[in-house]
Amino acid sequence: MFFNIFGVFSINYLTSTIKINRTEALLGVMAAAVVMCFAIPFFGRMSDRLGRPRVYMWGSLITAVSAFPGFWLMTHSGGNVLLVWLSIIIPFGILYASVYGPEAALFCDLFDAKVRYTGISFVYQFSGIFASGITPIIATALLKSGGGEPWQICLYVLFAGVVSAVCAWMIGRGVSPADAPAAVASR
């Protein structure tokens, strides 16, 4: 969901509401994606050391809270492209990577080796319909109902982040992957 707020919706918000040039908005998202290429492996490695649920949980909370200063900076950038880019790069390129980095391994840990691919694919694709597909539509409606102010969007992001963090916390209370039986490929 966060990906679609900062990677998709923010472009429309910046061009339609803040009146930033579309190319500059796209360049900000592209710069965040480049930064994310380095941040994802960093947070993946961190999850190997500290535990996937812990990194995912804290990443979800920090990323969710980052929507508030991110949108505040976008809104109050005064058209300064550097500030606009920072408002995207920090929450999207760096902080969101703390969720995305450990995500695949965290999901793998949830399923037995015999059903792992099916389980992950089902969860990831099915949730994409609801969490990702309609996010820009919801964000647009929240922006409109908020009179053009993004604070309701930030609350929506915060809610999703808290739900994700609680789920990661609950996963972390389960059996550790190190304590689980070894996964064995079967024919």
pLDDT in tens, 5-43: 999 999 999 999 999 999 999 999 999 999 999 999 999
Handedness of CA 15, 69, 91, 52 (dihedral sign): negative
Identify the band that residue 179 occupies on the pLDDT scale cut at 50, 70 and 90.
low
| Structural domain count of the chain | 1
Alpha helices in the chain (DSSP H): 2-4, 10-12, 22-50, 52-75, 81-88, 97-109, 116-127, 135-145, 151-172
Under 8 Å between Cβ of 78 and 22 = no
Domain range for residue 167? 2-172
CATH number of the domain at 72, please: 1.20.1250.20
Compute the average pLDDT of residues 54-81: 96
Q: What's the pLDDT score for residue 107?
A: 84
Following CA atoms 121, 138, 10, 52 in sequence, which dihedral angle do they give, to the nearest 10 degrees? Answer: -40
* Token digits of residue 117: 């691919």
Mean predicted confidence (pLDDT) in 62-86: 96
**Percent residues over pLDDT 70 in the chain:** 93
Both tokens of 130, joined, read 């609801």
Q: Is residue 131 part of a domain?
A: yes
Classify residue 28: in a domain, yes or no.
yes
